[in-house]
Structure 1
């Protein structure tokens, strides 16, 4: 008897379990760099929640945050790393596989 393959949920990445972290990666998936204010506006989240999401994803190597100035005002720009884009793509593929399983008969 052949071993059954693992359920696709085992391929989900817990780093994207938070809706804010998931949405953040989705906003950056096309290898774009966005500033903090733009991300907060797009994701409709407060500064604290966004800052925590960025810090978490940066700590696992999925994002890179670059700090600088526009005039005398500090700014933070964020972009996904190659590892982050790959991990997010795998997570989305696992979600699609889970949905596809829902339509199959046992």
Structure 2
């Protein structure tokens, strides 16, 4: 029997799960756009991003634009796989209760 994926504790927190969901549908996204979509403060967003980056799930890049530095976020290939596996496990678990 094939072992089922396990929940990723870094991704599992609601805010980080939302960040990964947003990033999974795009190549990259600006920090402020993701922050606003998740509905958190800069400091909370920064903490989430730092944990995702340390886990290797998100890559962060800074780009100067219009005299300002903008931060861009991107799911790494490992982050995409971890998110996909996490969602698959959530789906599997949700199916057990039906």
Please say whether Structure 1 and Structure 2 have the same fold, judged by a TM-score greater than 0.5.
Answer: yes
How does the TM-score come out when normalised to structure 1?
0.85
**Stretches of structure 2 lacking an aligned partner (at least 5 in a row):** none
Aligned to 1:54: 49
User: TM-score, structure 2 length as denominator?
Assistant: 0.91
Q: Does 1:84 pair with 2:79? A: yes
Q: Determine the C-alpha separation between the residues in 2 that align with 1:17 and 1:102.
A: 19
**Count of residue correspondences:** 98
Question: What SS class does the counterpart of residue 28 from structure 1 fall into?
Answer: helix
**SS of structure 2 residue aligned to 1:11:** coil
RMSD: 1.7
Pick aligned residue for 2:93 from 73, 81, 98: 98
Deviates more, 1:22-31 or 1:76-85: 22-31
Bigger drift between 73-82 and 10-19 goes to 10-19
1:72 to 55, 64, 67: 67
Moved over 4 A (4+): none
Q: Which has the larger radius of gyration?
A: 1
Q: Where does the alignment leave 5 or more consecutive residues of structure 1 unmatched?
A: none
